[in-house]
C-alpha cells in the first residue's frame, strides 16, 4: 500500500500514523515517500521511496490523506502507475475524497478486506504550440486553465471547438475542464456542475468582457483550443493548479480527452447528488420525494 500525506498538517501526521499501524497489524506492507518519512512517526518496516513517476507501481492502492491539493498530487502517481487512489479528506470540500477524518478505522478495514470498488475518471491531455511547433505537453484531472499573467491587463483570446472559431474576447482567461473538474475552478468561474458519469468536456470563460462568453459543454471527442492573441500580454497555462508554463503572445493551447484515466477507489454507493448536497451543504429541507 502506498501512503501519501500532507505532512504540513498535524492532523495528517496523526492520521498517517493510525493508518500505518492498522495496515501493518493486518500484515499489509506500506510504502511512503522518503521526503515525507522524516515527518512521520514510522517503524523501520515501512518502505521509503523517492518521488518518481513509477513510485506507486506494484502497490494495490494509493491512500491519500489531505485536502484537494494533496489529492491532486496523488493523482500524478495514480495516473502514471494505474493504481487506484483512495482519498481521505482533511481539508474543506474534498470532492475527490471518499472518506473523512473520522472514518479512518473504516478506511483501514475496507482496504484490508478489499471492500471497495474502482471507477475511472476522465483526464485531459494538454498541448501548447508556438509558431506551429509543439513546445509543451501536460495533463490534468480537473482542468487546464489559460490565464492572464499580469493582473492589470486583460488577456485577449480566441476560443475554438473542433477546428472552428467560437468567440474572441478579453478577460481573465479560460478554463477547460473534465466533469470531475466541474466542481472545482470551472465551478468558481460560473460553469455547470456535470455528473462524473457524463462524458464531456467543458470550456468556461473567466470574467470575460463579451456579449457571448458562456460556458460550453462539448463532446468528449472534441478538441478545445485557446489562442492567445499576438498583441496581448503573455499568459500562463495552469494544469490542476499545480503545474504552470508561460504562454507567449500567439501561443495556442489544445485540450482533448486524456488517453490515460485516473482510477478512484470508492467505499460508498451514495449518488453524486447526495455527495453534492453534502459537500456544498445545500438546503434541501422540505423535499418529500417521489410518490410511493
Q: Which residues are annotated as a binding site for NAD(+)?
A: 68-69, 73, 142-143, 153, 172, 183-188
Q: Cell numbers at residue 221, please?
A: 471527442
User: How many CA atoms, within 13 angstroms, populate the side-chain half-sphere of residue 190?
Assistant: 11
Strand partners, 49: 33
Residue 43 CB contacts under 8 Å (≥ 6 apart), including other chains: 20, 24
CA distance 229 to 231: 6
User: Which residues are known binding-site members?
Assistant: 68-69, 73, 142-143, 153, 172, 183-188
Residue 36 CB contacts under 8 Å (≥ 6 apart), including other chains: 4, 5, 7
Backbone angles phi, psi at 253, to 5 degrees: -110, 125
- What three-state secondary structure class fits 57? coil
The catalytic position among 39, 50, 68, 76 is: 68
Q: Examine the residue annotation and report whether 274 is marked as an active-site residue of this protein.
A: no
Burial, 158: exposed, middle or buried (Cβ in 10 Å; 0-12, 13-18, 19+)?
middle
CA distances (Å), origin 245, targets 11, 242, 278:
33, 10, 35
Q: Cell numbers at residue 7, please?
A: 505532512
Residue with cell 503545474: 243
Indicate which residues carry an active-site annotation: 68
Amino acid at each position: 500500500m502506498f501512503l501519501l500525506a500532507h505532512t504540513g498538517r498535524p492532523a495528517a501526521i496523526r492520521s498517517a500514523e493510525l493508518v500505518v499501524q492498522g495496515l501493518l497489524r493486518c500484515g499489509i506492507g506500506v510504502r511512503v515517500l522518503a521526503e515525507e518519512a522524516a515527518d512521520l512517526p514510522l517503524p523501520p518496516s515501512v518502505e521509503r521511496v523517492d518521488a518518481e513517476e513509477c513510485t506507486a507501481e506494484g502497490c494495490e492502492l494509493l491512500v491519500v490523506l489531505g485536502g484537494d491539493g494533496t489529492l491532486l498530487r496523488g493523482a500524478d502517481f495514480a495516473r502514471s502507475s494505474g493504481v487506484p487512489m483512495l482519498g481521505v479528506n482533511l481539508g474543506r470540500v474534498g470532492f475527490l475524497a471518499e472518506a473523512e477524518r473520522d472514518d479512518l478505522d473504516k478506511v483501514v478495514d475496507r482496504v484490508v478486506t478489499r471492500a471497495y470498488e474502482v471507477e475511472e475518471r476522465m483526464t485531459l491531455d494538454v498541448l501548447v504550440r508556438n509558431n506551429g511547433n509543439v513546445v509543451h505537453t501536460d495533463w490534468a484531472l480537473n482542468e487546464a486553465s489559460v490565464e492572464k499573467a499580469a493582473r492589470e491587463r486583460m488577456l485577449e483570446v480566441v476560443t475554438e471547438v473542433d477546428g472552428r472559431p467560437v468567440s474572441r474576447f478579453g478577460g481573465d482567461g479560460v478554463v477547460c475542464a473534465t466533469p470531475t473538474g466541474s466542481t472545482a475552478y470551472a465551478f468558481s468561474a460560473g460553469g455547470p456542475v456535470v455528473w462524473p458519469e457524463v462524458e464531456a468536456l467543458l470550456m468556461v470563460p473567466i470574467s470575460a468582457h463579451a456579449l457571448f462568453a458562456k460556458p460550453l459543454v462539448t463532446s468528449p471527442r472534441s478538441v478545445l483550443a485557446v489562442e492567445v492573441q499576438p498583441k496581448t500580454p503573455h499568459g500562463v497555462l495552469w494544469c490542476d493548479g499545480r503545474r504552470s508554463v508561460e504562454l507567449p503572445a500567439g501561443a495556442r493551447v489544445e485540450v482533448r480527452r486524456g488517453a490515460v484515466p485516473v482510477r478512484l477507489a470508492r467505499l460508498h454507493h451514495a449518488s453524486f447528488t447526495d455527495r453534492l448536497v453534502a459537500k456544498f451543504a445545500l438546503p434541501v429541507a422540505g423535499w418529500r420525494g417521489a410518490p410511493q
